[in-house]
Amino acid sequence: MEKLINNYGWGLPVAASTVAGGIDFGIRIIHVAMFVIFILWAIFFTYLLIRYRRMDGVKADASHGRLIWSLAPDVVVLIFEISLIVLYAIPAWSRIKIKFPTPDESHNLEIVAEQFGWIIQYPGADAKFGRRSPALVNASNPMGLDPEDPAAKDDVIGVNELHLPLGKPTLVQLTSKDVIHSFFIPEFRIKQDAVPGMKIPVWFEPTKAGQYELGCAQLCGVGHAIMRADVFVHEAADYDAWMTRQRPQFSPQE
Amino acid sequence: MPETAALSHHGQDRHDAHKLPWVNKYVFSIDHKVIGLQYLFTSMFFLLFGFMLIMLIRWQLAFPGKPIPLIGGLLSQALAPGGIITPEFYNALGAMHGTIMVFLGIVPMGVGAFGNYILPLQIGAPDMAFPRLNMMSYWLYVPGGLLMLASFFLPGGAAQSGWTSYPPLSIINPGQTVWLVGMLFLIFSSLFGAINFLVTGLNMRAPGMSLWRLPVFVWAQLVTSVLLLLAFPPLQAAAILQFMDRVAGTSFYIPEGLIVGGQALAASGGGQPILWQHLFWFLAHPEVYVLILPAMGIVAEIIANNTRKPLYGYKEIVYSMFFIGGMSFVVWAHHMFISGMSPALGNFFLVTTMIISVPSVAVLTCLVFSLKGGSIRFTTPMLFALAFLPLFGIGGLTGLPLGLTVTDIYLHDTYYVIGHFHYVVVTGTIIALMGGVYHWFPKWFGRKMNDAWGRVHFWTTAIFMNGIFFPMFIQGLAGAQRRLYDPTAQAHNIVTQPLNIVSSVSAWLLFLAQIPFLVNFFHSIFKCEKSEENPWRATTLEWACPSPPPHGNFDKTPHVYREPYDYSPEGYLSDWRPQHQEAGARP
């Protein structure tokens, strides 16, 4: 926790994924625009209040200027918003949420959310995810991994610890066992609801080795606040070394 | 003429009014004014109650895990052992705060109280079109509210799945069944009210009151009624489906293969959790405009009256409201950008969301331009109306990064969202409603509220409201998530945790700041100086009858000769000409 706090401050947290820069750019530019609009508006508003305060012997002027003046702010806002949509939001949104890296070029994971934790399935050396079945879920097999499936033999299961390599995108298939949760790594600026009955793809590519925080952003019950996981981003070689140290779910030693 | 028919019927009623037994006059009344005041007092109670719930939460957020001082010991041991609230109770407080403030506080006040009392008067009608239906609306609202209150004392406690009640959480959590039944009462109440307002507003107008002579407040109520009428039925259906999922073993929202707490959930499956979100937000986004449109109407009335000048762009304001009303049905899924619905759909809702901001800007711009060339009286209601403009502006502006798909990925479900919608609903709507209370108090009770205390109430309220909600933008940008029982359980909240203390202290001070208001309000009903019939020199028809108006409202049906805001007319000595003043006559 001590280490994680250093990622956070009074502004946006440390940016540690390839998409974070683009999202931060949008947040900053919108806030600058909001600030300028509000200040200009407030100056005009204050001027009106002082200039047209009630004065003895002065009657209000019942006539109004041309309506065209009041359309000016509408037009300015409309132009600003259209440019945001066309130049920024639609391209950036499709880069983050619509176009996905192929499984071949990615580090592939399956993540299942539950009350109140995150279960991560690594495919192991065969790069294939073992079959899962809700009927097989128990305390020692939180994923419900099927021991009959050869692809499951080398699968590694992690609970509340997510390990990621640098240098390639991570492609997650996200789902939930019970209620809706939300996968949120603030340092990566990535968020996606985990919905039971659905498998939703999420991708991100870390840019800095280090430790980050995965929280649940959707109210999921009494333990919502404590539903978190540590995210460790390793250099590619360190990641491979870490992986070889992990025991598969159905390792012979057990 | 329908007006004359209604009038003669009511002429009869009025004649008999003093003979009515007490219970029919004040409890099961069919008089829109009595019902309006019933709504006013009931919704004030619920607003205060909902506020108290959140003050408990604010303690837990500021000082997590510490026992609540003073009142901690009064809470039951099951809810707060040793004065420390449990996570279950925390979630119940959160869910019920949202539900009570929206469905039992603000809508009943903005529509039920102000709409009921003011709309018939402003169109020169003797009552609502369906007085008994009106009574029924109120008497469905009351049991709905009582059910919500009672749920705190039932086994399992009140609903604790957020006011949004997303399944499957809402289906496996306790307390939700009573919440759903309570909601059905409230929805029926609103639906009957909406029908009544539409029929009244369109059919009961006094002679000469053409549509383009309606005050903006009446237009706001009419658009609001259309929204309620069209948006509530889907939620009603959705709530019944959720009710069936809970009590009848159906699976409308439950997919198969759920494992809850290590056990397989006994449900047939095949449902879809996101379906609820679509149906819920299909109501709940228009609902946001149900909250804000009456407030805009109130602010428009107060500004026109206190600038002593016709509103700038009256028709532009009304057309903008139509546009907002129509568009509000196609923006709902901007609450769902990251819900798992098709991301391609996000682009559509991004565009509609950006479009709907334009008419809101137009309304705000017209209200600001109305100040130009005016002779501004800084009365107490006017202070509230003026504060509405910049503060609602902040609420609107901060909607921008949330409505934009890309930036919403990060800001969704953070404190930024809470700051945004509270700026809209609290510093927007509630500020406007408070202004409305000061403005129409002389109409309701024939007396004026104390002005000096009104100003104290205004300044303290405006400052503390900002003290609560502005820090939330900073927290949200720093990554702080909403709805966490212990905000320090995750790293992203720890640095900005001192801001939680600022917000909490401001919330408690805001509560103290309401004491002068409440004392002033109740004291003034009985004791304060008698008001003139039209103390604000206002032009609209509600001031053309005695204050408070008798049963049946107008001595004789008023005839309307002009636009609603004929202030400072050219060639006149006085600075106002009421709508019912015959041409040529001088006030």
State the average pLDDT over residues B22-26.
Answer: 84
- Which residue positions in chain A have pLDDT lower than 50? 254
- What topology does CATH give the domain B2-253+269-543? Cytochrome C Oxidase; Chain A (1.20.210)
CA distance B56 to B86: 11
Transcribe A74-85 into DSSP letters: HHHHHHHHHHII
pLDDT tens digits for range A95-136 = 999 999 999 999 999 999 999 999 999 998 888 999 998 889
Task: Please list, in sequence order, all residues whose beta carbon lies within 8 angstroms of the beta carbon of residue B88, skipping any fewer than 6 positions away.
Answer: A222, B79, B157, B160
User: What pLDDT, on the 0 to 100 scale, is given for residue B493?
Assistant: 86
**What beta strand segments (E) does A67-169 contain?**
107-114, 117-122, 156-159, 161-165
- Chains A, B: CB pairs < 8 Å: 295
CA distance B346 to B332: 11
> Cβ contacts (< 8 Å) between B258 and chain A: which residues?
134, 177-178, 196-197
pLDDT tens digits for range B106-125 = 999 999 999 999 999 999 99
Helical segments of A136-218, H only: none
* Distant-in-sequence contacts of B512-519, Cβ < 8 A, 24+ apart: B513/B457, B513/B460, B513/B461, B513/B464, B514/B48, B514/B457, B514/B461, B516/B453, B516/B456, B516/B457, B516/B460, B517/B434, B517/B453, B517/B454, B517/B457, B517/B461, B519/B453
- Using an 8 Å Cβ cutoff, are B369 and B444 in contact? no
| Domain map (residue ranges) of chain B | 2-253+269-543
State the average pLDDT over residues B212-237.
Answer: 96
Handedness of CA B34, B35, B37, B41 (dihedral sign): positive
Token look-up 């749920």 returns: B151
> Cβ contacts (< 8 Å) between B261 and chain A: which residues?
115, 178
Helix, strand, coil % over all residues of chain B, rounded to 5: 65, 0, 30
Determine whether B333 is exposed, middle or buried from the number of CB atoms within 10 Å of its CB (0-12, 13-18, 19+): buried
Chain-chain contact of B308 with A60 (C-beta, under 8 angstroms) = yes
User: What pLDDT, on the 0 to 100 scale, is given for residue A181?
Assistant: 97
Is the pLDDT reported for residue B217 higher than 80?
yes
- Using an 8 Å Cβ cutoff, are A238 and A134 in contact? no
Number of C-beta neighbours around residue A155 at 10 A: 24
pLDDT band at B527 (very low <50, low <70, confident <90, very high): confident
CA distance B92 to B85: 11
Rg (CA), chain A: 26
User: What pLDDT, on the 0 to 100 scale, is given for residue A252?
Assistant: 59
Chain-chain contact of B309 with A60 (C-beta, under 8 angstroms) = yes
Chain-chain contact of B343 with A98 (C-beta, under 8 angstroms) = yes
pLDDT band at B347 (very low <50, low <70, confident <90, very high): very high
Local structure of B155: helix, strand or coil:
coil
User: What pLDDT, on the 0 to 100 scale, is given for residue B584?
Assistant: 64
For B340: left if phi > 0, alpha if psi spans -120 to 50, otherwise beta; the answer is left
CA distance B302 to B15: 34
| Domain map (residue ranges) of chain A | 20-98, 103-245
Tell me how many helices (H) and strands (E) chain A has. 5, 10
Helical segments of chain A, H only: 2-5, 20-51, 68-83, 90-93, 236-245
Give the CB-side neighbour count of residue A166, counting CA atoms within 13 A: 12
> Cβ contacts (< 8 Å) between B369 and chain A: which residues?
64-65, 69-70
Is the pLDDT reported for residue B5 higher than 70?
no
pLDDT tens digits for range B172-211 = 999 999 999 999 999 999 999 999 999 999 999 999 999 9
ipTM of this predicted structure: 0.95
- Using an 8 Å Cβ cutoff, are B112 and B192 in contact? no
CA distance A11 to A26: 14
Chain-chain contact of A219 with B486 (C-beta, under 8 angstroms) = no
Is the pLDDT reported for residue B399 higher than 80?
yes
Q: Which residues 311-350 of B are in CB contact (within 8 Å) with A?
A: 312-313, 316, 338-340, 343-344, 346-347, 350
CA distance A110 to A101: 15
pLDDT band at B585 (very low <50, low <70, confident <90, very high): low
What is the residue-averaged pLDDT of chain B? 93
pLDDT band at B24 (very low <50, low <70, confident <90, very high): confident
Nearest to A13 by CA among A29, A27, A33, A32: A27
pLDDT tens digits for range B360-396 = 999 999 999 999 999 999 999 999 999 999 999 999 9
Is domain A103-245 classified as CATH 2.60.40.420?
yes
State the average pLDDT over residues B124-134.
Answer: 96
| B378–A contact, CB cutoff 8 A | yes
Q: Which residues 462-501 of B are in CB contact (within 8 Å) with A?
A: 474, 477-479, 481, 483-487, 489-492, 494-496
User: What pLDDT, on the 0 to 100 scale, is given for residue B454?
Assistant: 96
User: Between B258, B365, B374, which is nearest A60 by CB?
Assistant: B374
Task: Please list, in sequence order, all residues whose beta carbon lies within 8 angstroms of the beta carbon of residue A190, skipping any fewer than 6 positions away.
Answer: A17, A19, A96, A183, A184, A202, A204, B409
User: What pLDDT, on the 0 to 100 scale, is given for residue B426?
Assistant: 97
User: Between B167, B413, B491, which is nearest A218 by CB?
Assistant: B413
Local structure of A45: helix, strand or coil:
helix
CA distance A176 to A193: 9
DSSP A10: S
Question: Which of A38, A93, A146 would best serve as a mutation to test chain B binding (most B beta carbons within 10 A)?
Answer: A93
